[in-house]
Copies of this chain bind each other. A is one copy, B any other.
């Protein structure tokens, strides 16, 4: 049977195990795999389909859970006789994301910007902490503080003061399930802000959030010092979202003069606010960290935002924002009835991770990993004649400019070698993208994979 087993063709953005499960379920439903016939062993299917053991295991356990296959002791999985009680056949349409980022499945080397290195994640410490957080805190089952539990907020305020020069009391911290969620919450808090200034090029999710709240996004060009203040002043916007520590995606760090000018803009009229998204400031390689804009703000006009998605892992859905006093008061009038969107057990686990020094150690380890990866990848790519690399001082991605090809050619030639990269134009709205420029993330690939990807890119762009 295994030799005639119909192998799937992986496409789209759905997870591999999900595609594999759907493919086999459809084959059983259609009769291509007949009732009673044996499925390949897990190990064999790994080899046949070129996927990992965990992909196969998840697909098989889904099939078993839904009654498509039966697990027979010592003889593996066999196809079931389908009964009408199998109530949830997989839908025909795969779970693809139109207009979404290149799927990991489609490339041998995925250089999108959303990966992180989880090899250094301290699983055993996290598992221990999680267990202790449940056992030692029965009180955490009840409803917690809407802004997040005070002990976590205290730990966050101390961390941000120490690492980022953020000046705040724990009362000002709002914890939520991801930076995108907190941005949504801020927009609901500021209904009078009808036009919102966003960096161009900039973070796509910020544009999405603004449009989902029926507000007008005003793209403001980014120059070598960050968001251009003249354009912001002319825009009529009262709220500006920016990434001053490491502009996304250009990688520019905003110098002191520009910071003062933007703070002055915010302070010079009522109802003007800056949202400082410090999304990957934890990682700087060739310069000292620059303190947050928030720490320089004397007028109470900056909302500081950060997340653990990159510094710990995307799976940890904890982000935070620091509200200035005026917005804090407004927040409390508006949202104080609600519950915090992060589980209290997870809040307590994270607090323990921070105060027990595990987070600091994890940052040092991953910082060193990323520094090495960034150096390795950029040094290899710099061997390509005519190439310019920028924005590689910090964070988990950089830009590559290679004038002899167009942006589309750069992306297509990389794709032909199975290296997935993003065109810079993906992040541009009104501005013309810098020509012949692409965005490369390196965090999700191993050093070995980065070396291989660099070899392929050198061939692709020769």
Contacts and interface: CB of A to CB of B under 8 A. Distances in A.
Interface string A139-154: 1111111110011001
A451 interface: no
Contacts of A143: 114, 314-315
Copies of this chain: 2
A347 B31 CA distance: 33
B142 A315 contact: yes
A355 B64 CA distance: 12
Contacts of A130: 127, 130-131, 134, 345
Nearest to A130: B130
Interface in A138-184: 138-147, 150-151, 154-155, 157-158, 161, 167-171, 177-178, 180-181, 184
A368 interface: no
A100 interface: yes
B126 A134 contact: yes
Nearest to A313: B141
A86 B214 CA distance: 43
Contact of A150 (B18, B191, B205, B332): B18
A341 B317 contact: yes
A87 B116 CA distance: 33
A84 interface: no
A356 interface: no
Nearest to A89: B169
A65 B171 contact: no
B177 A341 contact: yes
Interface string A73-105: 000000000000001111101011111110000
A204 interface: yes
Contact of A135 (B114, B127, B147): B127
B150 A62 contact: yes
A346 interface: yes
A316 B339 contact: no
A101 B336 CA distance: 10
Contacts of A177: 177, 181, 317, 341-342
Contact of A214 (B115, B128, B191): B191
Contacts of A235: none
Given A130-B131, A336-B98, A341 B178 contact: yes
A214 B214 contact: yes
A169 to B, nearest CB: 5
B18 A88 contact: no
A329 B235 CA distance: 35
A343 B355 contact: no
Contacts of A169: 88-91
A213 interface: yes
Interface string A367-392: 00000000000000000000000000
A231 interface: no
B91 A212 contact: no
A338 interface: yes
Nearest to A189: B212
A379 to B, nearest CB: 27
Contacts of A346: 343, 345-346
Nearest to A208: B337
A212 B190 CA distance: 9
Interface string A324-352: 00000000111011111111111000000
Contacts of A180: 338-339
Contacts of A446: none
A195 interface: no
Contacts of A13: 336
A61 interface: yes
Contact of A131 (B127, B191, B205): B127
9 closest residue pairs by CB, A with B:
A97-B336, A177-B341, A141-B313, A118-B141, A143-B314, A315-B344, A127-B134, A177-B177, A188-B212
14 contacts: A90-B169, A95-B332, A118-B142, A127-B130, A130-B131, A130-B134, A141-B313, A142-B444, A177-B341, A178-B339, A188-B212, A314-B339, A343-B343, A345-B346
